[in-house]
Amino acid sequence: MIKVIGGGLAGCEAANFLANAGLEVELSDIKPKSFTPAHGDPRFAELVCSNSLKGNDPFTNACGLLKEEMRRLGSLIVEAADATRVPAGGALAVDRSAFAEYITDKIKSNKNITVVCREAEALPSDEWCIVATGPLTAGALADDIASKMGGGLHFYDASAPIVSRDSIDMSRAFVGDRYGRGGDDYINCPLTKEEYAEFVRRLVGAERALLHDFERGEIFEGCMPVEVMAARGEDTLRFGPFKPVGLRDEHGNKFYAVLQLRKENALGEAYNLVGCQTNLKFGEQKRVFSLIPALANAEFLRYGVMHRNSYLNSPRCLNADFSAKEYPKLFFAGQMTGVEGYVESAASGLLAAIHLFRKFSSLPAAVPENVCVLGALSAHISGVNANFTPMNANFGILRPLEERIRDKKARYTALAERSLEYIEGYKRLVAARHILQQGK
């Protein structure tokens, strides 16, 4: 019996792969008896921040390339995202409730997976196990991990508010994606120069929670609260989440700044304030975001929250196959390994499962090369890095091309083509069912 601890994206991905490879799996999670401060859904694979899994085009977006690599390896998480997607232009966004339901059904209906509600208090001493308890791991288990894995690191992560569709003033907003791509996937909330300046002024001056932690600089750049971005300069948001480039209303008008709202569910009843992850107190969030004309009377279905995420000093304690250097049967997966993002977290679960399966089956190791995003993330968590911090998928971590290509679009296309060609070979190498059928 293989143990997988944690029913998030990484844990479900790992349990599904191992079970489909023919191994008996015990998947344990604290739900539904208890929840972390950021969770509230009793189902598996709950998305606690955005409902977007970022870009979906493998030739222009590194996370899109990572998703395509995972698709070709049979990823449950990407399968679920494709099945429950909501319109979001070039991004792959999902109905988070349908997404969690899809994955929970797949896990609970798999005859090789036994689901157990239990809170782990210590790492298994000598059992095959993948620990995927997430960046909010706390209590006795967190203490045991810190003791055995040489301590832990942490950063702060934030989510954005969600508003009701019916409460958005559409007379002061318009629908459409940037440059006309993707149809009417976004609601756009424009601001004049004066409205934008007042919004930024009030945003920077609003009361925050955990300000003392912010001041220590423990915020992951990819999840920077909007108020922290705004404090860097008045135009920072206009070149970031409020950029108006490529957005025009039905009359062809351009705007000084634009906040985009993205669907949270397939019915379009709720919308996420894109790029507005925040640590403002709840009352301040309503006061400040209501300054945006289209949101003057917005009903907030969920306010943005911030929580501390913990991760391992993985280069010191993990191998490239996500196994612990001191404990050969113990593997880690998810954001606690130092990968950052929904898809990256799921990818680490898939990789940990592939590697555990091969080691369990006495097969040679098969760590992917860094010509693909899966391999580059593996290299990140195990490479020499004195200032190790969480890493998103990006083209910059891939092995450079032999031929220098100056044009970015052409370079990204070449990197993606090389990656997907490599993944086809890697797929044949790690095809678990095929290996088992041959009795190897």
- Pair type for strands 91-94 and 162-164: unpaired
pLDDT of residue 131 exceeding 80, the answer is yes
pLDDT of residue 387 exceeding 70, the answer is no
Q: Please determine whether the domains at 2-154+309-437 and 162-304 fall in the same fold group of CATH.
A: no
pLDDT of residue 214 exceeding 50, the answer is no
Q: Which among 73, 59, 67, 80 is positioned nearest to 8, based on CA atoms?
A: 80
Cis peptide, bond prior to residue 293, ω within 30 of zero: no
The secondary element (H helix, E strand) that includes residue 139 is helix 139-148
Structure-block tokens of residue 78 = 């990407």
- CB atoms closer than 10 angstroms to residue 387: 4
What was the pLDDT predicted at 406? Answer: 86
Burial call 361-386: b when 16+ CB within 10 Å, e when fewer: eeeeeebbebbbbbbbbbbbbbeeee
Check if the beta carbon of residue 133 is closer than 8 Å to that of residue 141: yes
Burial call 92-104: b when 16+ CB within 10 Å, e when fewer: bbbbbbbbbbbbb
Rounded Cα distance between 141 and 119, Å, is 9
Q: What is the pLDDT of residues 285-316, one digit of tens each?
A: 999 999 999 999 998 988 887 777 788 889 99
What percent of the chain has pLDDT above 90?
A: 62
Rounded Cα distance between 412 and 64, Å, is 11
Check if the beta carbon of residue 311 is closer than 8 Å to that of residue 146: no
- CB atoms closer than 10 angstroms to residue 43: 18
What was the pLDDT predicted at 201? Answer: 96
CA distances from 252 to 16, 152, 176, 179, 196 (A): 49, 52, 12, 11, 20
Check if the beta carbon of residue 61 is closer than 8 Å to that of residue 395: no
Question: What residues are paired with 258 via a beta bridge?
Answer: 190
Sheet with 2-5: strands ordered across? 113-117, 25-29, 2-5, 129-131, 330-332
Q: What is the mean pLDDT of residues 104-132?
A: 94
**Range 162-304 has CATH code 3.40.50:** no
Q: Where do the structural domains in the chain lie, given as residue ranges?
A: 2-154+309-437, 162-304
The distance from CA 224 to its chain's CA centroid, rounded to whole angstroms, is 14
**Which residues touch 353 (CB under 8 Å, ≥6 apart)?**
13, 14, 15, 17, 18, 21, 130, 333
Q: What is the pLDDT of residues 404-435, one digit of tens each?
A: 898 989 999 999 999 999 999 999 988 765 55
> How does the average pLDDT of the chain come out, rounded?
89
pLDDT of residue 231 exceeding 90, the answer is yes
pLDDT of residue 440 exceeding 80, the answer is no
- Tell me the pTM: 0.75
Range scoring the smallest mean pLDDT among 115-119, 141-145, 351-355? 141-145
pLDDT of residue 343 exceeding 90, the answer is yes
Q: Which among 92, 61, 60, 97 is positioned nearest to 79, based on CA atoms?
A: 92
* Most confident of the following: 2-16, 165-179, 311-325: 2-16
pLDDT of residue 10 exceeding 60, the answer is yes
pLDDT of residue 31 exceeding 80, the answer is yes
Check if the beta carbon of residue 154 is closer than 8 Å to that of residue 306: no
CA distances from 184 to 76, 137, 248 (A): 28, 39, 12
Topology, domain 2-154+309-437: FAD/NAD(P)-binding domain (3.50.50)
Q: What is the mean pLDDT of residues 32-45?
A: 77
Check if the beta carbon of residue 60 is closer than 8 Å to that of residue 412: yes
Rounded Cα distance between 413 and 42, Å, is 41
What was the pLDDT predicted at 439? Answer: 40
Structure-block tokens of residue 236 = 């920072």
pLDDT of residue 179 exceeding 90, the answer is no
- Pair type for strands 25-29 and 2-5: parallel
